[in-house]
Structure 1
Amino acid sequence: MTTLTKPRIQSIDLLKGLVMVIMALDHVRDYFHYSAFFFDATDPEQTTWPIFITRFITHFCAPAFSFLAGTSAFMIGKRKSPAELSSFLFKRGLWLVFVEIIIINFAWKFDLNFTHIGLQTIWSLGISMIVLAGLIHFPKKMILVFSLLIIFGHNLLDNIHFDGSYLWAILHERQKFEFTEGHTVIFAYSLLPWIGVMSLGYCFGSLYDSSFDAQKRKQLLNGLGIASIALFFILIAFNTYGDPLQWTNYGDVSKTLMSILNISKYPPSLLYLLVTLGGTLLFLANAEKLKGNFVNFFCVFGRVPFFYYILHLYLIHLMAVIAAEFTGFGWKIMVSMPTFITRVEALKGYGFNLITVYVVWIIVILLLYPLCKKFDNYKQSHKEKWWLSYL
């Protein structure tokens, strides 16, 4: 049975690695697929099933990683006092916010002027950790209730709008602001639901205590995973609550099914979280005994996710710059651009088919593996270096 300390819980590393690798597919699509510049990949009226599925499977990445970040925080807390854990989470959260604003935004745009700042995945993880730094001092049952109230109740706020409110954009509504002349910021990952996901993951950390029976953990995770997905379909059937975008009957089975599965990520709706976290729990329940080279391969990425995340963005964007240059569009078209939407006219005719996207994705993963493997070995052999815990 796995324990909290040594060895590491391989099923968690495996899931982290899988979501990191799958996440790269979506980012490769952002830069290389012709459709990324013209329409939403999940729009039933414009997309195709291969494009839709390519986008849909990446929905599982952010919820799974945010949830597991909370679980990891609980495990770290087994080796630290509450005060030490709180301090660590607070400092790491601040570090992640800095990384999002400076390092990640530059990776997306290659813009030294930081004309357009997007606050996305790493930002939400950072702020969620800062909040969790305070939450850990409350009883675990209270944290669980807090988490469930946010996840199940935040869609009640969907019809409340405060145009021009930075606070509301940060908490619940994706908005874009011009904070100085010629400089904009977009709060892409509204925080309220993501805070609930991480704190929920923290509560689940107790299932991985060395005293917790492995078979009981499997049964509990399977039961909760199945219940989450069942509730997803129940709410879908009623089509009244759980997502601001209700599904449409197109009179066509294919389009209607796409509409049903076209769940909102910005912010993540209850339906979005039910199906993605349900899948996360089912995977965790049934992956503990998986072994072999396949598992070891993905676990490498799962043990160094932050290092991998930064590298993969820079590599993908650099490859896109080269692709634009060699396809006649010029490398500058991939530099200092505010959003993909604004590139439509300039990039008309640019892009590749989905097969090429998958080939580029595989190349990216294979190029990054040896670097991640080397860094993983370094982390494993230098656990005394405190700064490695921030990477």
Structure 2
Amino acid sequence: MSSIPKSINRISSIDLVKGLAILIMALDHVRDYVHAPAFLFDPADPEQTTLAIFFTRWVTHYCAPAFSFLAGMSAYMVGKRKPQNELSGFLLKRGIWLVVIDVTIVSFAWFFDFQFGVINLNVIASLGISMIALAGLVYFPRKIVLIFSLILIFGHNLLDDIRFDDSILWAIIHYQNIFFISENSMLLVAYPIIPWIGVMSLGYCLGAYYEKSVDNYKRKQTFNLIGILAILLFVILRWSNLYGEPNDFEQLGAFSKNLISFLNPSKYPPSLLYLLMTLGVTFLVLANSEKWKGKAVDFICTFGRVPFFFYIIHIYLIHVIAVGLAALTGFSWEKNMVLAAWGIIENPIPGYGFPLWVVYTVWVAVIFLLYPICKRFDRYKMGNKDKWWLSYF
């Protein structure tokens, strides 16, 4: 979730995509903490969900791939101002920083657990590990990095049948898993790093399309072509169940169920089909949004310039709101602080939760509450480029 330095002729379409991604991501996090069925069933289970619940979850699938890909693009652009060894060092330090932040500040935001009984390797840690890998990849020619990226993205599903259930290392690499370290502590590997490393390094390779020597029309043509081909390949592979997805598309008798099954490729780790579906749309938005203007675009871009800052504070805000909602509706929250073991065990407050319209109401409230804070921080960043520590936010 890194920002592109202002001094490099900032591309508003990239800020726009980042802003859209982070705001949509907030919707999913509000759903996790507020929606009543969040602990009753998987929102993508065609046998239990509704189209409204499914698409509330589905639209957020586009966030993590966009962040990872655009972080790679940002790395390329930062590299235009730095020698290779300085870029590598920056990526290494920032990657380590993101992992540390994920298992401390971000983890506490999720669980409100002062004992840190859950070590949570989530999306921020995945981005951090990908940056650490990219710190080494930048020493290779871009063509080699491109080949490496495509191999990871298109070939990693060949690893789907390889299982080492007791291996933490394998979980970090390619298999989401939970490990009970002791009676009171566990490790949750939520985001296996393959193929996320390939997504970030692909963004690094394609960052060259934002060189001043590249014509805007050529960039638009290329990105549109990649986006359309990616989505067409997704449709073909998903319909045929040939390759690229461990969970086959099923005909379940009803149109809504069939649609949910079709649009629900695996995320943990992201299958080839998941990446084709999500990155395809990302390419199309990048290709066609460069000339978008207006107050709405400026509003969204503000969040896109400070996505990591927004990410951290929005989880705390949503969790605090959930605590308040639980208290206001007569539920006890003292022991678990509302969803302290979110995503790992069943709802620690049985009966807690609200309809979907409340989710959207809280989501909009969170966005407008945090907008002035993000705008002020954005201005502070732009006015204090000499402060090195700001590059880590």
TM-score w.r.t. structure 1 length? 0.97
User: Alignment partner for residue 159 of structure 1, among 116, 137, 161?
Assistant: 161
Deviation at 1:5, TM superposition (A): 4.2
Distance (whole Å) between structure 2 residues aligned to residue 142 and residue 7 of structure 1 = 28
User: Alignment partner for residue 299 of structure 2, among 272, 275, 297?
Assistant: 297
Deviation at 1:338, TM superposition (A): 2.3
Q: Which amino acid aligns with 1:337?
A: A
Indicate the residue corresponding to 2:332 in structure 1.
330
Q: Deviations over 1:299-342 (max 9, x none)?
A: 11011111100000000000001111111112224357323452
Deviation at 1:37, TM superposition (A): 1.0
Indicate the residue corresponding to 1:134 in structure 2.
136
Q: Report matched runs for 1:116-265 at 5 Å.
A: 116-265=118-267
| Aligned-residue identity in percent | 59
Distance (whole Å) between structure 1 residues aligned to residue 339 and residue 330 of structure 2 = 18
Indicate the residue corresponding to 2:321 in structure 1.
319
How many residues end up aligned between the 2 structures? 389
**Does the 8 Å contact 1:175/1:186 carry over to 2?**
yes
Indicate the residue corresponding to 1:267 in structure 2.
269
**Does the 8 Å contact 1:315/1:364 carry over to 2?**
yes
Distance (whole Å) between structure 2 residues aligned to residue 264 and residue 328 of structure 1 = 37
Distance (whole Å) between structure 2 residues aligned to residue 101 and residue 301 of structure 1 = 23
SS in 1 for 2:195: helix
Deviation at 1:155, TM superposition (A): 0.5
Q: Runs of at least 4 residues of structure 1 off by over 6 A?
A: none
SS in 2 for 1:331: coil
**Does the 8 Å contact 1:18/1:302 carry over to 2?**
yes
Deviation at 1:376, TM superposition (A): 0.3
SS in 1 for 2:284: helix
**Does the 8 Å contact 2:64/2:123 carry over to 1?**
yes
**Does the 8 Å contact 1:37/1:347 carry over to 2?**
no
Q: Which amino acid aligns with 2:263?
A: L
Structure 1: segments with no counterpart, 5+ residues:
none
Deviation at 1:180, TM superposition (A): 3.3
Deviation at 1:372, TM superposition (A): 0.2
Q: Does the alignment pair 1:306 with 2:300?
A: no
**Does the 8 Å contact 1:224/1:281 carry over to 2?**
yes
Distance (whole Å) between structure 2 residues aligned to residue 311 and residue 61 of structure 1 = 17
Indicate the residue corresponding to 1:78 in structure 2.
80
Q: Deviations over 1:132-191 (max 9, x none)?
A: 000000000000000000000101111110110111101000011122342100111000
Q: Which amino acid aligns with 1:353?
A: P
Q: Which amino acid aligns with 2:204?
A: Y
Indicate the residue corresponding to 1:389 in structure 2.
391
Answer with 132-141 or 237-246: which moved more: 237-246
Structure 2: segments with no counterpart, 5+ residues:
none
Answer with 17-26 or 177-186: which moved more: 177-186
SS in 1 for 2:341: coil
Distance (whole Å) between structure 1 residues aligned to residue 388 and residue 93 of structure 2 = 13
Deviation at 1:6, TM superposition (A): 3.9
Deviation at 1:347, TM superposition (A): 2.8
SS in 1 for 2:276: helix
Q: Which amino acid aligns with 1:291?
A: K
Q: Does the alignment pair 1:96 with 2:114?
A: no
Deviation at 1:4, TM superposition (A): 8.8
Distance (whole Å) between structure 2 residues aligned to residue 243 and residue 14 of structure 1 = 30
SS in 1 for 2:194: helix
Indicate the residue corresponding to 2:345 in structure 1.
342
Indicate the residue corresponding to 2:54 in structure 1.
52
The CA RMSD over aligned residues, in Å, is 1.4
Distance (whole Å) between structure 1 residues aligned to residue 131 and residue 11 of structure 2 = 21
Relative distance call for 1:17 and 1:140 in structure 2 (3 A) is same
Distance (whole Å) between structure 2 residues aligned to residue 338 and residue 310 of structure 1 = 18
